Amino acid sequence: MPSEPSVVCRSCGGQDMFIALPMGEMPLANSLISSSRLGEPEAKFPIDLVMCKSCAQVQISQTVPPETLFRHYLYFSSFSSTMLSHAQEIAEEAVKERGLGPSSLVVEIASNDGYLLKNFLKMGVPVLGIEPALNICKTAQERGIRTIPEFFCEALAKRLAEQGELADVILANNVMAHIPDIGGVLAGIKVLLRPGGVFIMETPYVKDLIDYLEFDTIYHEHVFYHSLTSLESLFRRHGLATKQVEHLPIHGGTLRVTVTHEGGEGDGRAVRAWLAAESAWARDEGYYRGFAGKVATFGVELTALLRNLKSQGKRIAGYGAAAKASTLINFLGLDGRTIDFVADRSTYKQGLFMPGSRIPICAPEHILSERPDYLIILAWNFADEIMTQQAEFRKGGGRFIVPLPRLRVI
């Protein structure tokens, strides 16, 4: 058993931590490699999944500076049909429930290329995006989405508030897990949120991570893995409170939490019931410690399947050059001898190479021209979307391998 990490919880400052899953050294999951850099050494950083015994916050023990991770970013949300559909539903629901209109303001933290905010604009609701990735921010601005190229923080929130830009709704979809200074962001939300306004966040749910072996979502960008138990104590420390909580299937299991200023109206009974249900496992060390053994067993099963197929002369390609693909490939020690190439719809990724493994990234059309026998869906959270897109591959006799949340061949 590895020694306990000498780190401080980023959420509550507690120092009583234990390791749930040691992962060794890994390359940055989104640091895709150009052909000109293939001969250069690649930086790798240690990564361990740990839990704070004080506030139940699951997190990684190491921090890579956000400036390194996010100033130039290659994930554009608009390339996913699933994400576009989900974004439209979020906007329509928020406008209806909150009665938003021309005098309202919706602010999104880490707004990416405007895939979500554009829906509010179409309905006549003013928006403001905050996106630190300079390349993505530029794309959003070119699409007519008012976007600030900065990291969200309390100082920025104060500056906006002084300019009279208070938000009726603040959105943070799949970003609160990425922010080391989460307390500073919550302090900023407290400042920027108009009285009576709501902060709505969506984040991967740690219970799904553990129950369905979603270890590939553990990488340096994902600093936190949230439960409502860990979030509620964090909110309370910053004068905020949970108004509503929901569980969504997207991304392998997502927690959507609606937050108000402390004292605001909310569904207290439902929140208390959710916290009571989490009390059975949120601080249970045994629950988390069993995770490592299950991940190891899964790794043996998947690598055995792939090696068996390769021994039969089968060709295997991957689909989805996502961060989770990098984690799975590198954690299991896979490379181009097992996976010939990885296809991805993002034109920003095509022509590059996967970090660590140096597997080439190609356009989806490469699948039909090369005709692999099996396609392992590395972006398994979009498996249905991908299998629909690849109907021709399937008609030609191709088969899919979906690694998680349970290994299956289709």
pLDDT in tens, 26-58: 999 888 999 999 989 998 989 999 999 999 999
Give the pLDDT confidence score for residue 204 in this predicted structure: 93
Q: In this structure, are 98 and 247 located in the same domain?
A: yes
Signed CA dihedral, 381, 221, 257, 53: sign only = positive
The lowest-confidence range among 131-135, 149-153, 271-275 is: 131-135
Q: In this structure, are 254 and 364 located in the same domain?
A: no
Domain termination residue (choose one: 229, 254, 283): 283
In a domain, 196, yes or no: yes
pTM across the whole model: 0.88
Instruction: Catalogue the E-assigned strands of 266-385.
Output: 316-319, 342-343, 361-362, 374-377
Q: In this structure, are 301 and 271 located in the same domain?
A: no
Q: In this structure, are 192 and 264 located in the same domain?
A: yes
> What mean pLDDT comes out for the span 186-196?
96
Contacts of 30 (CB under 8 A, 6+ apart): 69, 73, 74, 75, 221, 323, 326, 355
pLDDT in tens, 60-118: 988 887 667 765 655 566 667 777 888 899 999 999 999 999 999 999 999 988 889 99
Q: Give yes or no for residue 5 having a pLDDT over 50.
A: no
Q: In this structure, are 266 and 314 located in the same domain?
A: no
Q: In this structure, are 327 and 196 located in the same domain?
A: no
CA distance 210 to 216: 11
Count structural domains, the chain: 2
Give the pLDDT confidence score for residue 348 in this predicted structure: 87
Query: Nearest 5 degrees, angle CA 220-CA 221-CA 226?
Result: 100
Give the pLDDT confidence score for residue 289 in this predicted structure: 84
CA distance 38 to 54: 44
Report whether 326 contacts 353 (CB < 8 A): no
Q: In this structure, are 331 and 298 located in the same domain?
A: yes
pLDDT in tens, 150-189: 999 999 999 999 999 999 999 999 899 999 999 999 999 9
Quick one: pLDDT band at residue 298, thresholds 50, 70, 90?
very high
Q: In this structure, are 305 and 318 located in the same domain?
A: yes
Q: Give yes or no for residue 2 having a pLDDT over 60.
A: no
Assign residue 341 the CATH number of its domain. Answer: 3.40.50.720
Query: Nearest 5 degrees, angle CA 141-CA 222-CA 390?
Result: 70
> 366 — phi, psi (to 5°)?
-65, -25
Q: In this structure, are 271 and 323 located in the same domain?
A: no
Q: In this structure, are 250 and 151 located in the same domain?
A: yes
In a domain, 267, yes or no: yes
Give the pLDDT confidence score for residue 1 in this predicted structure: 35
Assign residue 106 the CATH number of its domain. Answer: 3.40.50.150
In a domain, 42, yes or no: no
CA distance 327 to 220: 10
Q: In this structure, are 93 and 229 located in the same domain?
A: yes
β-strand pairing of 106-109 with 167-173 = parallel
Domain termination residue (choose one: 283, 304, 323): 283
Q: In this structure, are 279 and 323 located in the same domain?
A: no
Structural domain boundaries, residue 253: 77-283
Domain termination residue (choose one: 239, 266, 283): 283
In a domain, 223, yes or no: yes
